[in-house]
């Protein structure tokens, strides 16, 4: 009997040891996955929901009816990010608005070229504009800080008083009260300069990963009576304890060029997106620009979203071929101003 007990104890220890090794491997794999994909998710519950892909959807029957469409319609926002980054991005975005190639854009308030945006909007007040809330500064040499004084937001700045270059450092170091002040200041600055925003979104998605920061993002939208862009991936935050507020608009089909996309794959990517859109609410985010010296210098050593990607985005979306592709697949183009009818 004692020999049997000994064997059981040895077997139990082996099983426990194997389980510990297995769990350790799983944890290391998950940490590596989140780190490699720059997903600063440090909340265990959120990580599990993300892995299980517990995404939520809009009630598209209500959305379509409110906007005057049918539940079988394919509604698409073509949205340009990073307006204000530089003259090249600005001119490409302005031209795309005027040619009807995009339906919406959002402006970064932390950059030096926002006056160009304000001047453009003075004469083009009907275009749909959002505030591209910016808490990271990702380019190698082209850097910026917040719009507030450095003494007001030290937790989100590095030693050179620039915003952190990646989302992980922002998420780990940022204090909620300082983040709130900076985000509100960016909205206030835009409005004070004459921008009439319809919505807010997040540069590099930095506000979508930490539960408390994400809730703050949505609170600021509601307090300013603005819509908040929520990509379907971020909808995993919502559950029985955290209901989706009405100002939060989940984009059920969200598309943006995946990092690592080869230049010769970009056109096919966008055409395939259009061919495979399902009825519902969709958004394609583009990053427009022109292959010019200024943009080449800004995007140096940054192959994703560099001058080549941005020139191709501009060329493709302004082409008759792509516009005819939209018509062929009966895509209904809308913008964020239209979606304000939902609140």
Q: Token pair for residue 63? A: 């959305």
C-alpha to C-alpha distance for 50 and 46, rounded to whole angstroms: 6
For the stretch 32-48, pLDDT in tens is 666 556 677 777 778 77
Look at residue 111 and give its three-state secondary structure. coil
The mean pLDDT value for 142-152 works out to 97
pLDDT interval class at 284 (50, 70, 90): very high
Instruction: Look up tokens 């980054």; give the residue.
Output: 85
Helix (H, G, I), strand (E, B) or coil at 251: strand
Measured over the CA atoms of residue 93, residue 199, residue 206 and residue 255, the dihedral's sign is negative
In the structure, what pLDDT confidence band is assigned to residue 10 with cuts at 50, 70 and 90? confident
Which pLDDT score is estimated for 274?
98
Q: Is the pLDDT score of 22 beyond 80? A: no
pTM of the model: 0.90
pLDDT tens for each residue of 117-128: 999 999 999 999
From 112, 186, 115, 194, select the one nearest 152 (Cα to Cα): 186
Q: How high does pLDDT run on average in the chain?
A: 92
Rounded CA gap, 107 and 195, in Å? 9
Residue 28 pLDDT > 70 = no
Pairing mode of beta strands 104-107, 129-133: parallel
CA distances from 273 to 255, 257, 269, 312 (A): 8, 10, 6, 16
């Amino acid at each position: 009997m004692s020999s049997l007990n000994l064997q059981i104890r040895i077997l139990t220890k082996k099983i426990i040891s194997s389980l510990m090794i297995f769990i350790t491997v799983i944890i290391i794999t998950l940490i590596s996955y989140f780190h490699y994909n720059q997903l600063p998710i440090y909340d265990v519950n959120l990580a599990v929901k993300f892995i299980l892909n517990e995404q939520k959807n809009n009630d598209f029957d209500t959305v379509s009816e409110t906007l005057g469409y049918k539940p079988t319609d394919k509604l698409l926002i073509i949205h340009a990010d990073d307006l204000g980054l530089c003259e090249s991005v600005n001119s490409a975005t302005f031209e795309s608005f005027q040619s009807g190639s995009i339906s919406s854009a959002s402006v970064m308030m932390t950059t030096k070229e926002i006056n160009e945006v304000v001047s453009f909007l003075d004469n083009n007040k009907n275009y749909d504009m959002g505030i591209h809330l910016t808490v990271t500064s990702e380019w190698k040499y082209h850097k910026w800080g917040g719009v507030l004084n450095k003494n007001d937001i030290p937790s989100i700045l590095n030693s050179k008083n620039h915003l952190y270059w990646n989302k992980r450092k922002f998420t780990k170091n940022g204090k909620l009260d300082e983040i709130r002040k900076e985000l509100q200041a960016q909205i206030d600055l835009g409005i004070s300069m004459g921008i009439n925003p319809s919505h807010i979104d997040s540069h590099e998605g930095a506000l979508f990963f930490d539960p408390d920061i994400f809730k703050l993002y949505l609170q600021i939208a509601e307090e300013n009576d603005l819509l908040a862009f929520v990509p379907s991936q971020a909808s995993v935050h919502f559950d029985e304890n955290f209901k989706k507020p009405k100002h939060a608009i989940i984009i059920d089909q969200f598309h943006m060029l995946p990092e690592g996309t080869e230049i010769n794959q970009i056109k096919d990517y966008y055409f395939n997106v259009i061919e495979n859109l399902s009825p519902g609410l969709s958004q394609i985010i583009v990053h427009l620009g022109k292959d010019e010296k200024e943009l080449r210098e800004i995007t140096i050593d940054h192959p994703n979203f560099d001058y080549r990607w941005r020139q191709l985005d501009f060329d493709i979306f302004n082409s008759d071929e792509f516009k005819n592709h939209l018509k062929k697949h009966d895509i209904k183009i809308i913008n964020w101003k239209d979606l304000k009818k939902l609140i």
